[in-house]
Chains A and B, each alone.
Chain A
Amino acid sequence: MDFSSIITNMSVGTVGAAAELTLDPNLKYWVLFPISIVMILVGVCRQYIMVLLGLKIKTYPRARLTEVQYMSKAQALLGNGTNLCLESFKTRQEYLAQLLADGKFLAQQEQPETPPNPLTDPNATDVMMNMLKSNLANYIPQTLTMWWVNHFFAGFLLMKLPFPLTIKFKEMLQNGIMTPDLDPRWVSSISWYVISTLGLAPVTNLLFSSNSEESEAFAIAQQQQQFDSAPGAPTPEAIMKSLANDITIAQHESCFDTVESRVLNLYAK
């Protein structure tokens, strides 16, 4: 179907400059619906492409896992030490302080002189590749749909917006329409593209909220974050040293210390 043959009938109103146009109703069925459906389908495809790209689960050497787990063990002791009795707290405190100060489970025993170049480090390039891929998965479909809309649906008015716009929007939204005095509320198909790009997020959420793949991927990414040390972050060695210091000076307070008075307080009212 030749879209340029759809004629936009114009009947200029008599009242002042406010022009009332009558649009061909076929515009709705042959322009508005196709653009909307394509936008939603592109969103669906992008969702699945993102899932496919994000599937790769990274692995880490055992030494690195041990290192991270000993650090979280120290943090757990600092956070939840109140649940232990004094004796077991002391035992763990001594053991962990000693171990962390020695750096027994450090994955990388001797530090290289210079910080590794992020461009040659294979892990860093992996992260950058992933970022690049997700960016491309966002931009390529957008560029393609925009080109498609501009190429096939240019040169006529599609719809009337329900809200007034300033004259500045005229150039952008009435691109290719030779009517210098037309109210900018009458817009061509590219503006419907813009509006639906902005407003598509809720629709995608409603369509996809049933599958929880996104949240699972999010959880995995969160888990991985503690293993990936960002360039510029403190080295594991420094973190271990500071944790050892924290543990050495940690004061033990059991959760049972004043439990009688707290229980009495709780039921006093």
Chain B
Amino acid sequence: MNSQEVFADIKAQESIQSNKKTLLYVQDGTSLAFGCGAGILQLEGFQGFGFFILSYFTVMALYVGWFCDFKPAKYYQAPTQEIIVDPFFRELAGFVMAWTFVYALIG
């Protein structure tokens, strides 16, 4: 076994946790903010969900570019899974809540 391979695979649990926390904080904040935005714009139906998809992937791209220096594999064990798939429904629920709330307040 090549010892360099062994040392490349050492993971710090604290750093993994803190990276996930940072990502979750960014995604929670932005999805709530964009939900409020969708409510203020009075978007309805698929327009609103399209707005969510758009904002979600824009935020993801910005996060990968800005926080991860375009190397998400360096900070996450399974980048696609952890950045896109896992938080999706949580953020969607947050977005829908903020959207509905502001839509009802303004409308």
Interface residues of A (CB under 8 A from B): 28, 32, 36, 82, 158-164, 192, 195-196, 198-203, 205-206, 209, 215, 218, 222, 253, 255, 257, 262
Question: In the complex, how many angstroms separate the beta carbon of A132 from the nearest chain B beta carbon?
Answer: 26
Q: Which residues of B contact A158 (CB under 8 A)?
A: 104
> Are B21's CB and A215's CB within 8 A?
yes
Q: A201-B93, A255-B3 are in contact. Are A206 and B25 (CB under 8 A)?
A: yes
Contact of A205 among B3, B17, B24 (CB under 8 A): B24
Chain B residue at smallest Cβ distance from A25? B105
> Are B28's CB and A163's CB within 8 A?
no
Q: Which residues of A contact B24 (CB under 8 A)?
A: 205
Q: How far is the CA of A262 from the CA of B29 in the complex (A)?
A: 46
Contact of B21 among A32, A201, A209 (CB under 8 A): A209
Q: A28-B105, A162-B48, A215-B21 are in contact. Are A195 and B100 (CB under 8 A)?
A: yes
Q: Which residues of B contact A202 (CB under 8 A)?
A: 27-29, 31-32, 90-91, 93-94
Q: How far is the CA of A72 from the CA of B15 in the complex (A)?
A: 22
Interface stretch (choices B37-45, B57-65, B68-76, B78-86): B37-45
Contact of B90 among A192, A201, A215, A222 (CB under 8 A): A201
